[in-house]
Homo-oligomer: A and B are copies of this chain.
Amino acid sequence: MKGRGILAVALALSLSACVTAPAQQASTVPAPAAKPAEPPATMQWLYGSGEAGALGIQAYHAMRDFVLVQALAKRSGQSVVLAEGSTLQAPQFRTCRPDEPLAVILDVDETALLNLGYEYDEAKGRAYDAGIWDRWEKTGAGAVAPVPGAVTALRAIRQAGVTVVFNSNRQAANAAATAAAIEGAGLGPAKHGETLFLKGDVAPGSEKDPRRALVANRYCVVAMAGDQLGDFSDLFNARDLAIPARRAAATGGTFARLWGNGWFLLPNPVYGPGVRGSFDDVFPADKRWSDPAGEK
């Protein structure tokens, strides 16, 4: 079935842009874009569809079952955090000590929490803005929802004696508000420096590997969850990694075996490094097709 909503959205966006363009040209203060008729297709799907909700449940079911088996076995398995010195071509993992406590590490935004309030505000017709996002971190705790499946899975994981650690690029300065958002959604506890690590903790910058390394020294990390490959390793965010090579790396070799078996992915087509690419990046050159009946 191929009925579409995309073109309707594109048309709505097009019309609103055409209408507002003259006003923007006539003034030095950019007018806010008119509210489009509908949210973008990516948000319709992620926040509105039963399909995306089901994907959340499916991922958290798999993570819960995987972690419970690890916890019951109490065996000396391997950490799922890449060991120092790893490369995409040669990933390495350390073996856990037999008596090490177990933990899972997961991202927050669009992994554990759906940022409904923020995305609603952005979908009305503005671009991403770091200042607005900062105010969202500070004041948005009441306008989030848990990703479907997350609350019951994290509860079961904690009941099995496994510590749940969040690793987010929200600002360390907003730790209290972020903990309140997590706990208010039923996903807590989240204690800054113990079970919640944020941008600015351990090292400056948005790299998550230093925080992962700290947690991996304290625990045997049996599972990780995220909506972006950088939630698993910063190697996937290398600047010189082309889009097709990034996809090939994530879906080949050792990493292919990890999806659903220690690494658990949540869907997010709304933002992030997975939402970019030219025609040549996205569509392989040997998979092109044109309508044999030609242009109308």
Contacts and interface: CB of A to CB of B under 8 A. Distances in A.
A1 interface: yes
A20 to B, nearest CB: 10
A53 B258 CA distance: 13
Contacts of A259: 54-55, 57-58, 61, 149
A282 B44 contact: yes
B128 A256 contact: no
Give the interface size bracket for A toward B. Answer: 35 or more
A52 to B, nearest CB: 7
A204 interface: no
A213 interface: no
Contacts of A140: 289
Contacts of A14: 13-14, 16-18
Interface string A20-54: 01000000000010000011111111111111111
Contacts of A283: 39, 47, 116, 119-120, 123
A276 interface: yes
B39 A265 contact: no
A292 interface: yes
Contacts of A278: 38-39
A83 interface: no
Interface stretch (A97-105, A154-162, A190-198, A223-231): A223-231
A41 B44 contact: no
B144 A287 contact: yes
B284 A116 contact: yes
Contacts of A15: 17
Contacts of A55: 55, 259, 265, 267
A53 B247 contact: yes
B169 A1 contact: yes
A71 interface: no
Nearest to A57: B259
Interface in A120-170: 120-121, 123-124, 127-128, 130-133, 135-136, 139-140, 142-145, 148-149, 169
A52 B230 contact: no
A250 B18 contact: no
Given A10-B17, A10-B40, A120-B288, 18 more contacts: A2-B272, A3-B128, A7-B128, A11-B17, A14-B18, A45-B274, A45-B275, A48-B277, A50-B229, A50-B236, A51-B228, A52-B269, A53-B251, A54-B250, A59-B260, A121-B288, A136-B291, A148-B251
Closest 6 interchain pairs by CB?
Answer: A117-B289, A50-B250, A14-B17, A49-B274, A48-B282, A61-B260
